[in-house]
Structure 1
Amino acid sequence: MKPVKELMTTDCKTVTLQDNIYEIAVLMAQHDIGFVPVVEAEDRSKLIGVVTDRDLVIRGYAEKQPGSCSVQNVMSESLITISPDQDAEEAADIMAQHQIRRLPVVDYDKLVGVITLGDLSLGSTTGHDAGVALSEISEDHQVLH
């Protein structure tokens, strides 16, 4: 399997604590993304949190937060990250273990990219690791009718 740095997306759209949840929603819609890293305003590469589309819904709109509400009110601060030099198989294992679909890639606390399940499936000749990760991520989140 390849190292994470060969598979990750490096053109990450980011926000700072000075942005609001409306701006995040617009950014997600414009770029068809569901995950936005939050970086420090002074050092736009220092990762301090992330916001997912689910965070916007659960912590933002479902709690009747106005669009002008701060990013800090909806962001996740307990981050799970990976190094660009780690193996992509390790990324798949981390995603499966923590039931996440996107993993920030950091090098000495600096955001250098994001690796997703899609990146993993494209980087593997079999897609096995991404498939296993997706299976484990999805198994506890099945909808009951």
Structure 2
Amino acid sequence: MTTERPGKTARDVMHQGAECVGEHDSLRTAAEMMRDLSVGALPICGDDDRLKGIITDRDIVIKCCAEGKDLNETTAGELARGLVWVDAQTSVEDALVTMEEHQIKRMPVIENHRIVGMISEADLAKELPDSKLAEFVHRIYAGA
């Protein structure tokens, strides 16, 4: 069992250096990036290098493939959703609450108006006591 260490922030537990897919990039490009990076979600950044949303592998399957849309023609920006993020200095506890409230499993971490990483349920799992982890998983998957 892991114990929560006081004072830990989103920066302390995130995966650093999140790569963005461009809002004008195709879903094929997004899917290839996910494959190459071994991730299930990517932040979507605009031409201004600012966060526009997030796209998941599930979004690509459900909102593009299953709808008969073209992976080469549909852009990541068209599926941009969930502009939910935390500041790098946000406490692990507050990051957890934000993810629970929005029932999301991955969340961008922002510092000085730029994305610096991603935080996932797996990152939080390493920091939470078993009882808190069980509550988190229940809340996240209750609406899935």
TM-score (ref. length: structure 1): 0.85
Name the structure, 1 or 2, with higher relative contact order (CA <8 Å, separation 6+): 2
Secondary structure of the residue that 1:131 maps to in structure 2?
helix
Amino acid in structure 2 at the alignment position of 1:53: D
Structure 1 gap ranges (5+): none
Secondary structure of the residue that 2:104 maps to in structure 1?
coil
The CA deviation string for residues 96-139 of structure 1, in whole angstroms up to 9 with x for no partner, is 11110011111243111111111111134x24433321111112
The CA deviation string for residues 44-65 of structure 1, in whole angstroms up to 9 with x for no partner, is xx21111111211121111111
* Cross-structure match for 1:49: 53
Checking the alignment, whether the CA contact within 8 Å between 2:15 and 2:117 is kept in structure 1 is yes
* Cross-structure match for 1:15: 21
Amino acid in structure 2 at the alignment position of 1:29: R
Give the fraction of aligned pairs with identical amino acids, expressed as a percent. 26
Give the whole-Å Cα distance in 1 for the aligned partners of 2:86 and 2:71: 31
* Cross-structure match for 1:136: 139
TM-score (ref. length: structure 2): 0.86
Give the whole-Å Cα distance in 2 for the aligned partners of 1:14 and 1:34: 13
Q: Does 1:121 align with 2:125?
A: yes
Quickly say closer, same or farther: Cα 1:6–1:128, change in 2 above 3 A.
farther
**Backbone CA RMSD of aligned residues:** 1.6
Give the whole-Å Cα distance in 2 for the aligned partners of 1:131 and 1:106: 27
Q: How many residues align?
A: 137
Amino acid in structure 2 at the alignment position of 1:70: T
